[in-house]
Each structure stands twice: as C-alpha cells, then as structure tokens.
A = this chain, B = another copy of it.
Amino acid sequence: MFTSRPIGFVSSPYKTTSEVPKGPGARHDADGMLRILPEFEPGLTDIEGFSHLFVLWEFHLSVDYELFASPPFDTSPHGVFATRSPRRPNPIGLTVVELRERRGNELYVHGLDMLDETPILDIKPYLSSIPVEQLRRGWLAEVEARQK
C-alpha cells in the first residue's frame, strides 16, 4: 500500500466544518482555488481543456473511522460507504468542481466543499456522466421526499 502525499492545498472560504453546506439540497456554490505545488505544475498541462474535474483530497482533520455514520440531517445511521462521512477507513474525499481558469499552478474552481488548507491528493478529468434518469439515490432520496 502507499503513503499519501499532498500535491497541493485547497484555498476555500470554509474555515470550519460547520460552515460547509450539508444535507439534501445543499448547494456547493463556493469559489476557491486549488494551489498545486510547483514541483507538480507540469502535471497540469492541458487540464484547462476540461470544464469539470474530480478532486481527491484528504480528510486531514478526521481521526479514526466508524462503520456507521449518522448524517446531521437524518435520524438513522447508515453504513459509512453509503454516506460521505469523513470518518472512513481511508480518509479520502471526492468533489467534482468546475474549472473556471488556470493561472500557472493555480486552478480557480467553482463548487468547493472542502475546508481551507485541505491537502489535495489527485486531480482527474471528469469525462462522462450517468444520465440522471438512471440514478437511484437510496436513503438520501427518502430523506428528501420526507422533507417535501
């Protein structure tokens, strides 16, 4: 197995977890920046051609994990792999962002949900989507239906 290393850090308006929008209908409208370490900047070549990126990052404030997670907006716990809980066996987060502009080693993006100073592990191009009519969204859809 491998030991993770940061390829850069997130610059985000969210300084504490309580500021990050959560739950059904939560919108991730935050603008921010992915500052890639200079040694990795050549790896960004041609990335500006992509409108959306997968960002893999580390839940750096998370210690240990729990196999059940109770989202703040639901009353019952769910298996951690059926949630976005930060307390995971491998503390890796995943966010899709829109790439607005690249300036050298800085990627200006829209749609952040990470905290400021979050270590970035990887960036990948977002290439295709599952058509929304093919998606089933389990317990989250049930919570949304109850809230209507």
Contact = CB atoms under 8 A, between A and B. Distances in A.
A80 interface: yes
Please classify the interface of chain A as helix (H, G, I), strand (E, B), loop, or mixed, using the class held by over half of its residues.
Answer: mixed
A102 to B, nearest CB: 11
A45 interface: yes
B4 A47 contact: no
Nearest to A66: B43
Chain copies in complex: 2
B92 A49 contact: no
Contact of A79 (B2, B44, B134, B136): B44
A50 to B, nearest CB: 5
Contacts of A44: 79, 81-82
Contacts of A127: 135, 137, 140
Contact of A45 (B2, B54, B78, B136): B78
Interface of A: 1-7, 36, 40, 42-52, 54, 56, 58, 67-68, 77-84, 88-92, 94, 96, 119, 121-132, 134-142
